């Protein structure tokens, strides 16, 4: 019998990202390394009838190329209409479609109309790769029993740095603060220095007491450039608890920042209601807190020995994340 091929629908690994898209691009790189062949629309940036016809011809040819029961991984969300048509054709052909859930926009934006459409899309599939156990449970509640594997941590294909650090009341947050209301309340957190890395620092527009800004750098450079002793995993509208749409979304997702902090050898501080709090506790790589207001006291309670143990526990995880083993293992289960 001829060996079956495996494919993925390429959507993200065309660009150099300076934000969250790097996780999707790395996933596509791992799929290529594992022998999955890309299905990618031609002339994706061009318009006009000729380009439309060329892409339409491609998706028909691609669907005919993929045989029944051959694996095809699609990264969700799927925004391009032509890729949605390709997926529909592949379903008709009997391909084994594996939906890798990257983001759930309806949950993230608290938009029920979008969420209903996303759930309807999910119900078409039987094989999924998701972030973590909390997302797997949410998905089962929406679509029933399915084959679901999880990555737990996003792969991040850069070498670990594992910078030697000591426990101190210095916490870093790498990301876009413009959409995060909790940032404006960090002044309530006494005796803690927050290092923030983001584009707003370069613009000099956002200033909050207790915050030190650092210029944004490319994601591949970040593990070696993170200052401080702890990496912060928090989101939403408040520092007292996970609040608002983004705070609620944190109860289901694994943040790519977690992998960044691990590669930097940096124990993490995570909201105890976050989905990743279970991972932080399981691997003993940081602390889970109900809120940030009393953060100084929680940090002071961590001994040098406890901190060093957390750093040691980061090392095997950093090795897995940097080599793409999280997605590799998940693929083997679907």
Question: Model confidence over 18-64: pLDDT tens digits?
Answer: 455 788 999 999 999 999 999 998 766 666 677 788 888 989 999 99
> Are 149 and 249 found together in one domain?
no
In the prediction, which pLDDT does 38 show?
95
- Asked, for residue 164, whether it belongs to a domain, the answer is no
Quote the pLDDT of residue 210.
82
Regarding whether 215 and 140 lie in a shared domain, the answer is no
Q: Which two tokens stand for residue 165?
A: 């650090």
Structural contact between residues 102 and 71, judged by C-beta atoms closer than 8 angstroms: no
Same domain, 20 and 143: yes
d(CA 287, CA 270): 6
- pLDDT, position 99: 98
Asked if the structure places residue 162 within a domain, the reply is no
Co-location of 215 and 286 in the same domain: yes
Q: How far apart are CA 174 and CA 264, in angstroms?
A: 12
User: How does pLDDT run across 325-334, given as a tens digit for each residue?
Assistant: 999 999 999 9
For residue 169, pLDDT over 70 is answered with: yes
The yes-or-no verdict on residue 4 having pLDDT over 90 is no
CA atoms of 178 and 187, how far apart (whole Å): 16
Q: Residue 199: pLDDT band by 50, 70, 90 thresholds?
A: low
d(CA 106, CA 112): 6
Count how many domains the chain has: 2
Closest Cα to residue 250, out of 229, 280, 272, 281? Answer: 272
Domain-located, residue 165: no
CA torsion angle for 266, 272, 274, 280 (degrees, to 10)? Answer: 40
226-230 average pLDDT score: 95
Q: Is residue 216 part of a domain?
A: yes
- One domain for residues 92 and 218: no
pLDDT at residue 68 greater than cutoff 70: yes
The confidence band for 319, taking pLDDT boundaries of 50, 70 and 90, is very high
Burial of 114 (0-12, 13-18, 19+ CB in 10 A): middle
What does the alpha-carbon distance between residue 213 and residue 242 come to, in Å, rounded to a whole number? Answer: 23
Inter-CA distances, 54 with 30, 43, 46, 48, 92, Å: 28, 8, 11, 10, 21
pLDDT, one tens digit per residue, over 69-126 is 999 999 999 988 899 999 999 999 999 999 999 999 999 999 999 999 999 999 999 9
What's this model's pTM, rounded to 2 decimal places?
Answer: 0.92
- The residues, any chain, with a CB within 8 Å of residue 304's CB and separated by 6 or more, are 166, 167
| pLDDT at residue number 12 | 77
Q: Indicate if 150 and 174 belong to the same structural domain.
A: no
Q: How far is CA 151 from the centre of its chain?
A: 10
Is residue 14 over pLDDT 70? no
Which domain CATH number covers 314?
Answer: 3.40.50.2000
Q: Which range (44-48, 171-175, 263-267) has the least confidence?
A: 44-48
Same domain as 316, residue 177: yes
pLDDT of amino acid 29: 95
Q: Would you say residue 17 has pLDDT above 60?
A: no
Residues 100 and 127 in one domain: yes
Q: Is residue 141 part of a domain?
A: yes
Indicate if 178 and 153 belong to the same structural domain.
no
Question: Residue 51 has what pLDDT?
Answer: 77
Residues 200 and 308 reside in one and the same domain: yes
pLDDT of residue 16: 52
Domain of 150, in residue numbers: 6-157+323-331
Q: Same domain, yes or no, for 52 and 109?
A: yes
Q: What is the DSSP string of 50-96?
A: HHHHHHHHHHHHHHHHSPTT-EEEEEES---HHHHHHHHHHHHHT-E
Higher pLDDT: 17 or 69? It is 69
- pLDDT of the residue at 217: 81
| Same domain for 262 and 126 | no
Tokens representing 11 are 């959507």
- Residue by residue, DSSP assigns 251-305 as TT---HHHHHHHHTT--EEEETTSTTHHHHHHHT-EEEES-STTHHHHHHT--HH
Mean pLDDT lowest among 100-109, 158-167, 289-298: 158-167
Q: What is the pLDDT of the chain when averaged over all its residues?
A: 91
- Residue 106 belongs to some domain of the structure: yes
Give a yes or no: residue 269 inside a domain. Answer: yes
Q: Does the pLDDT at position 1 exceed 50?
A: no
Strands in 6-9's sheet, in edge-to-edge order, are: 37-39, 6-9, 71-76, 96-101, 127-130, 147-150
């Amino acid at each position: 019998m001829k060996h079956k091929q495996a494919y993925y629908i390429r959507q993200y690994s065309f660009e150099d990202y300076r934000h969250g898209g790097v996780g999707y691009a790395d996933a596509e790189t791992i799929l290529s390394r594992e022998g999955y062949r890309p299905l990618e629309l031609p002339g994706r940036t061009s318009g006009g009838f000729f380009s439309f016809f060329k892409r339409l011809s491609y998706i028909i040819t691609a669907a005919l190329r993929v045989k029944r029961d051959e694996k095809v991984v699609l990264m969700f969300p799927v925004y391009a209409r032509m890729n949605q048509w390709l997926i529909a054709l592949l379903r008709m052909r009997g391909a084994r479609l594996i939906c890798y859930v990257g983001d759930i926009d309806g949950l993230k934006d608290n938009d029920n109309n979008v969420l209903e459409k996303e759930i309807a899309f999910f119900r078409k599939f039987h094989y999924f790769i998701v972030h973590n156990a909390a997302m797997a449970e949410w998905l089962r509640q929406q679509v029933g029993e399915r084959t679901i594997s999880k990555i737990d941590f996003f792969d991040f294909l850069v070498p670990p740095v594992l910078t030697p650090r000591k426990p101190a009341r210095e916490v870093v947050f790498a990301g876009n603060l413009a959409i995060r209301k909790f940032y404006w309340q960090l002044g309530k957190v006494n005796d803690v220095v927050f290092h923030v890395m983001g584009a707003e620092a370069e613009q000099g527009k956002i200033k909050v007491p207790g915050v030190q800004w650092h210029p944004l750098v490319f994601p591949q450079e970040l593990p070696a450039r993170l200052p401080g002793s702890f990496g912060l995993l928090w989101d939403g509208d408040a520092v007292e608890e996970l609040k608002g749409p983004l705070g609620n979304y944190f109860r289901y997702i694994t943040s790519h920042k977690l992998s960044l902090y691990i590669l930097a050898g940096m124990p993490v501080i995570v909201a105890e209601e976050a989905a990743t709090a279970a991972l932080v506790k399981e691997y003993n790589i940081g602390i889970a807190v109900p809120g940030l207001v009393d953060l100084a006291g929680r940090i002071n309670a961590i001994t040098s020995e406890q901190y060093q143990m957390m750093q040691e526990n980061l090392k095997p995880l950093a090795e897995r994340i940097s080599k793409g083993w999280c997605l590799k293992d998940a693929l083997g289960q679907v």
